[in-house]
Amino acid sequence: MTTARNAPKALVLHLVGGGEPIRIAVSEETATELEKRLERLLGGSITSVIAANGASVAINYAQVAVAHLERLRPNAQVYGSPAPQ
């Protein structure tokens, strides 16, 4: 059973141009790494993030106004979510 405490995380990107935020499911390991680097990345870096399903996603942080990590709701389907079991 997934609880709020162990729910998967998502990298949430709010783009400079507005619109709906982009959510990318990431592993706990990737989330921990990103938490340490997000502030530097928002300086305009381009980097790849490994999604929870193993896909590599290139992100141009020069186009991102705000980025943060959040817990996903149970059964949420966002980009990079692992296939349902």
What residue segments make up the domains of the chain, in order of their start? 4-71
Confidence of residue 6 (pLDDT cuts 50, 70, 90): low
pLDDT of the residue at 1:
45
Q: Tell me the C-alpha distance between 51 and 1, whole Å.
A: 22
CATH number for the segment(s) 4-71? 2.30.30
Q: What is the mean pLDDT of residues 6-31?
A: 93
Q: Please write the tens of the pLDDT for every residue from 21-48.
A: 999 999 999 999 999 999 999 999 999 9
pLDDT classification of 54: cutoffs 50, 70, 90? very high
8: its two tokens: 């998967």
Ranges assigned E (strand) in 1-85: 9-15, 22-26, 46-50, 56-60, 64-71
Per-residue pLDDT of 62-85, as tens digits, reads 999 999 999 998 788 899 988 776
Determine contact, residues 78/25, Cβ cutoff 8 Å.
yes
